[in-house]
């Protein structure tokens, strides 16, 4: 649980301390007041990067030389402090956990996992398949940290293969195809297993979220085991880059058996992703901090109530004002 965060030269906060409670923390304020900036800082403690995909230099308050986030957290009755700073001149990031430097940023995540939902979530459903693969990759990595390494290895193989394909070096391709085949089958089985485990509970929860419509997720791997990469070599050489494998898998969301990307309303799309995230938390990481940036802006009163009734643990929600449906909360931060 996050109890306090202290920001120095972080976005529009030059020097500010905020305290939080267990349960629901609301961050309220007009446009541009810094609500998302605070959520960004909270997310940064867990992920050592901005969920807005902002460059670290852009997070520093304009005209300043560095930013620092200091946080006090509690986990299983033990207090921890974290300090993350980034210096403009050297472009270097320093992370201290309980005053000791840490090299691997993944330590933060394993200590304080977080799940972040923003208004970009609608793009997960609407956008290119890569958006959905990224989302699934993120969740599977939270559940199985070794999956992240598998994906890193896989990306390197694809980069190497792409060079060889571009240069039409047919003979050298074989060992890389072998590597890709091995990694692919492991990645696909992680994905299959994850989606199979999620499907039923997600379907059930989605009916509650979507006022009786049922959402589903559909996974179709690019390599399903029926053909090996060596058999596809001609097509890949013609394309000049790698066109088969998990980096081309397709994942789609359905709403009442129709593609959500075509037929889902804006609110429905956000609710589908929220139902998916909450299902994930239930099964895999119930202790995660949950960060929701403006979840209610596209939701009606029923949707708002449903989301609020499913919150567990510590949640941070931003909103321009306290909506009618929000009745129970532990803390309001008024900017
Ligand atoms: N590096 C920076 N230095 C100083 N101020 C910054 C920096 N980056 C962003 N800001 C300021 O932060 C403000 C945006 O804050 P933020 O996105 O948190 O607002 P918000 O409260 O979430 O608003 P909305 O309701 O529109 O989502 C901008 O108005 C911008 O001026
Ligand atoms: Mg905002």
Confidence at residue 143, expressed as pLDDT on a 0 to 100 scale: 86
Please tell me the residue having the least CA distance from ligand 1 atom 13. 32
Give Cα separations from 307 to 123, 210, 225, 311 (angstroms).
19, 11, 40, 7
Confidence at residue 323, expressed as pLDDT on a 0 to 100 scale: 84
Confidence at residue 328, expressed as pLDDT on a 0 to 100 scale: 87
Tell me which of 7, 12, 52 to substitute to probe ligand 1's pocket, judged by most ligand atoms within 8 Å of the beta carbon.
12
Which residues make up the CATH 1.20.1050.90 domain(s) of the chain?
129-285
Q: What is the pTM of this model?
A: 0.91
Ligand 1 near 259 CB (within 6 A): no
- Domain 129-285 - what CATH class? mainly alpha
Do 3 and 73 contact (CB within 8 A), yes or no?
yes
Tell me which of 8, 9, 10, 11 to substitute to probe ligand 1's pocket, judged by most ligand atoms within 8 Å of the beta carbon.
11
Ligand 1 near 78 CB (within 6 A): no
Mean pLDDT, the chain cut into blocks of 10 residues (335 residues total): 97 98 96 97 94 95 98 94 97 96 85 90 93 94 88 95 93 92 95 97 97 96 86 91 95 97 95 96 89 93 91 92 86 95
- How many whole angstroms from 13 Cα to the centroid of ligand 1? 10
Ligand 1 near 330 CB (within 6 A): no
Q: State how beta strands 100-101 and 92-97 pair.
A: antiparallel
Which residues make up the CATH 3.40.50.300 domain(s) of the chain?
1-113+287-335
Give per-residue burial for 126-138: e unless 16+ CB within 10 Å, then b.
Answer: beeeebbbebbbe
- How many whole angstroms from 317 Cα to the centroid of ligand 2? 10
- How many whole angstroms from 192 Cα to the centroid of ligand 2? 35
DSSP code at position 185: H
Atom of ligand 1 nearest to the CA of 29: 21
Confidence at residue 206, expressed as pLDDT on a 0 to 100 scale: 97
Q: Map residue 212 onto helix, strand or coil.
A: coil
Do 296 and 320 contact (CB within 8 A), yes or no?
no
Ligand 1 near 128 CB (within 6 A): no
CB atoms within 10 A of CB 174: 12
Tell me which of 33, 65, 321 to substitute to probe ligand 1's pocket, judged by most ligand atoms within 8 Å of the beta carbon.
33
Q: Map residue 30 onto helix, strand or coil.
A: coil
Q: Given CATH 3.40.50.9100, say whether it is the number of domain 1-113+287-335.
A: no
- How many whole angstroms from 40 Cα to the centroid of ligand 1? 11
């Amino acid at each position: 649980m996050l109890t306090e965060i202290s920001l120095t030269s972080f976005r529009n906060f030059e020097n500010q301390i905020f305290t939080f409670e267990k349960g629901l923390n609301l961050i309220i304020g007009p446009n541009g007041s810094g609500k998302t900036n605070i959520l960004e800082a909270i997310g940064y403690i867990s992920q050592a990067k901005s969920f807005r995909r902002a460059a670290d230099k852009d997070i520093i308050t304009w005209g300043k030389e560095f930013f620092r986030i200091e946080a006090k957290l509690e986990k299983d009755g033990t207090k921890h402090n974290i300090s993350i700073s980034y210096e403009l001149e050297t472009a270097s990031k320093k992370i201290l956990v309980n005053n000791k430097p840490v090299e691997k940023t993944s330590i933060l995540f394993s200590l304080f996992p977080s799940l972040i939902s923003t208004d970009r979530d609608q793009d997960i459903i609407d956008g290119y398949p890569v958006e959905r693969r990224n989302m699934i990759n993120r969740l599977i990595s939270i559940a199985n940290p070794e999956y992240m390494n598998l994906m890193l290895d896989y990306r390197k193989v694809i980069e190497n293969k792409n060079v060889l394909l571009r240069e039409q070096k047919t003979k050298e391709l074989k060992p890389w195809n072998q590597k890709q085949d091995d990694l692919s089958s492991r990645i696909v089985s992680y994905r299959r297993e994850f989606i199979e485990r999620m499907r039923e509970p997600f379907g059930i929860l989605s009916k509650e979220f979507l006022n009786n419509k049922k959402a589903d997720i559909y996974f179709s791997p690019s390599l399903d085991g029926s053909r090996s990469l060596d058999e596809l070599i001609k097509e890949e050489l013609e394309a000049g880059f790698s066109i088969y494998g998990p980096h081309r898998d397709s994942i789609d969301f359905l709403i009442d058996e129709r593609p959500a990307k075509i037929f889902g309303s804006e609110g429905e799309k956000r609710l589908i992703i929220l139902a998916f995230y909450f299902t994930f938390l239930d099964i895999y990481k119930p202790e995660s901090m949950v960060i929701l940036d403006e979840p209610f802006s596209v939701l009606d009163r029923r949707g708002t109530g449903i989301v609020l009734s499913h919150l567990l643990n510590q949640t941070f929600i931003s909103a321009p004002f306290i909506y009618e449906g929000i009745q129970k909360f532990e803390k309001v931060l008024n900017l």
